[in-house]
Amino acid sequence: MADELVSLDRTLIATLIERVADHVMAHAEELTALDQAIGDGDHGINMKRGLTAVMADIESISAQPLPGALKAAGMQMVMKVGGASGPLYGTLFMGLAKELSDTPTRAEAVAGFGAAIEAVKARGKARAGDKTMLDVLIPVHAAAADGADAAALRRVAAEAAEATIGMQARRGRASFLGERSLGHMDPGARSCQLLVEAVCDVLEDAA
């Protein structure tokens, strides 16, 4: 269908933000534990701080059309997270804000998602296979471009996060560990998977 993805009114934008924030924050301890294994042990705490700041601002954020809401949420992540994930998630959201219209079609959403992923690559100087959030975003984007439905996208995200266990980190603190980074799931890949799950849940319910 070339129609708009779903009707993105103020309520749906607020729901999207709330469900993403709730879902990621509910797993904050798990994210921190993953990060303690191969990073600096603060990913869950940092995501929680950023998303709490987004939630504190939800009235004004969700009062804006989609691009403005994404930009405002991204800016809160940049300013409040306190780790590299702030600029990385901020760049993802602000990259989407730059590309999407108020009511994107599915094709526009897929194209915008692809452009936002390119922006994240540039921000993190990373590429596929480096054991980062990109290793979830890239396969999810490819599946979305192939027409996958919400259930398939959740599955792709879960498999992609799982696949980072077998990767050796080439970016971030985990890269100092070399081969010792093998055998652990990347915390950023896991938080991206949670993000994808929450977005799929909301869009499925709204469709």
Applying CB under 8 A, the residues found at the interface with other proteins are 40, 42, 45-46, 49, 78-88, 90-91, 123-124, 171-173
Query: Would you say 50 or 139 has its CB closer to other proteins?
Result: 50
CB of 125 to other proteins, least distance (A): 9
| Between 174 and 202, CB nearer to other proteins | 174
- If phi over 0 gives left and psi between -120 and 50 gives alpha, with beta otherwise, what is residue 104? beta
Closest CA to 133 of 180, 77, 80, 65: 77
Least distance to other proteins, CB of residue 106, Å: 31
Q: Which is nearer to other proteins, 44 or 139 (CB)?
A: 44
Helix residue ranges per DSSP H, 81-185: 85-99, 106-124, 134-145, 150-163
d(CA 100, CA 52): 25
Q: How far is the CB of 97 from other proteins (least distance, A)?
A: 15
For residue 87, the minimal CB distance to other proteins (Å) is 4
Q: 3-class DSSP state for residue 4?
A: strand
In the DSSP assignment, the letter for residue 169 is P
Q: Which is nearer to other proteins, 87 or 104 (CB)?
A: 87
